[in-house]
């Protein structure tokens, strides 16, 4: 029996969740490529963290510039200085509505481009006669979470089900070869504490991740993402290794 070729693309932002998902895919033996987008976000810290994480994990890392998103998806606190990043919101209120940090159609754009990379890899194998269509699988790994999340509409199970269907219907590998583009969401139903525990269990380099919506020398500690991260480590009963590293090496580390 032929061994299945399992190809994957992980959307790597350099944050806690996406780093844990990358570690999960690697541990599962997926031939994974890390894909990071430079879409005009507020700061470079997450891009730097993504590069460091990918290097530490030994992953091929593709960084793709999307300058058009800064112009087109401008109505967001993450792509413009006009809208302020929300601060100090009660954690219990997160998810009650769609916050100003939502970037219009960001996950739809990211998943589509990740699918393009993945389909190119799969078609290269099938049409290069390296594998039969039935002997290859393809999956995009995304760190969406529907438990401890900030209300994003493109982080819901219903959204991913719709995207899976669209990618199958709109791709050659789906319609001609019957190979679906799967969308794997390993942390979708985990609490933030559960994600912390999984990342530690997998040996993910969490000390080099960056979750803060700001790009200062240290995390602001007050934005939605910082608040959720802090609660996750507190509920997991462990110190955030990023804060421990910054305290040990200094803010410029």
Among the listed residues 142, 66, 152, the one whose alpha carbon sits nearest the alpha carbon of residue 102: 152
How many domains are there within the chain?
Answer: 1
pLDDT tens profile 186-197: 999 999 999 999
Q: What percent of the chain has pLDDT over 90?
A: 77
Decide if pLDDT at 1 tops 60: no
pLDDT confidence tier of residue 85, bands split at 50, 70 and 90: confident
What is the chain's mean pLDDT, rounded? 92
Cα 160–chain centre separation = 14
Q: Identify the pLDDT of residue 92.
A: 64
| Strand (E) or helix (H) holding 57 | helix 45-57
CB 79 within 8 A of CB 106: no
Neighbouring C-beta atoms of residue 102, cutoff 10 Å: 21
> What is the DSSP track for 221-243?
S-BHHHHHHHHHHHHHTS--HHH
Q: Please check the confidence at residue 94 and state whether its pLDDT lies above 80.
A: no
Give per-residue pLDDT as tens, 163-215. 999 999 999 999 999 999 999 999 999 999 999 999 999 999 999 999 999 88
pLDDT above 90: residue 216: no
* pLDDT at res. 205: 98
CATH number for the domain including 96? 3.40.50.620
The helix (run of H) or strand (run of E) holding residue 62 is: strand 60-65
pLDDT for res 63: 97
pTM, entire model: 0.94
Give the pLDDT confidence of 107-125 residue by residue, as tens digits: 999 999 999 999 999 999 9
| pLDDT for residue 150 | 61
User: 226-249 pLDDT, tens per residue?
Assistant: 999 999 999 999 999 999 999 999
Host domain of residue 210? 5-249
Q: What is the reported pLDDT for 100?
A: 86
């Amino acid at each position: 029996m032929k061994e299945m070729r399992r190809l994957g693309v992980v959307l790597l932002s350099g944050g806690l969740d996406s780093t844990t998902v990358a570690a999960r895919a690697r541990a599962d033996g997926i031939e994974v490529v890390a894909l990071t987008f430079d879409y005009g976000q507020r700061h470079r810290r997450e891009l730097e963290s993504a590069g460091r994480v990918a290097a530490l994990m030994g992953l091929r890392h593709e960084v793709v510039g999307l300058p058009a998103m800064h112009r087109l998806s401008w109505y967001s606190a993450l792509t413009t200085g006009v809208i302020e990043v929300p601060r100090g919101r009660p954690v219990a209120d997160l998810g009650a509505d769609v916050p100003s940090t939502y970037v219009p159609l960001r996950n739809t754009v990211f998943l589509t481009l990740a699918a393009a990379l993945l389909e190119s890899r799969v078609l290269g194998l099938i049409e290069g006669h390296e594998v039969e269509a039935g002997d290859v699988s393809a999956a995009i790994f995304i760190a969406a979470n529907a438990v401890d999340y900030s209300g994003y509409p493109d982080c819901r199970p219903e959204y991913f089900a719709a995207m899976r269907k669209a990618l199958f219907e709109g791709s050659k590998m789906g319609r001609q070869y019957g190979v679906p583009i799967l969308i794997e969401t390993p942390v979708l139903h985990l609490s933030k504490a559960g994600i912390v525990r999984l990342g530690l269990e997998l040996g993910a380099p969490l000390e080099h991740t960056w979750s803060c919506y700001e790009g200062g020398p240290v995390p602001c500690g007050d934005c939605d993402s910082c608040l959720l991260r802090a609660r996750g480590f507190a509920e997991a009963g462990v110190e955030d290794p990023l804060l421990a590293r910054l305290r040990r090496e200094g803010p410029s580390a």
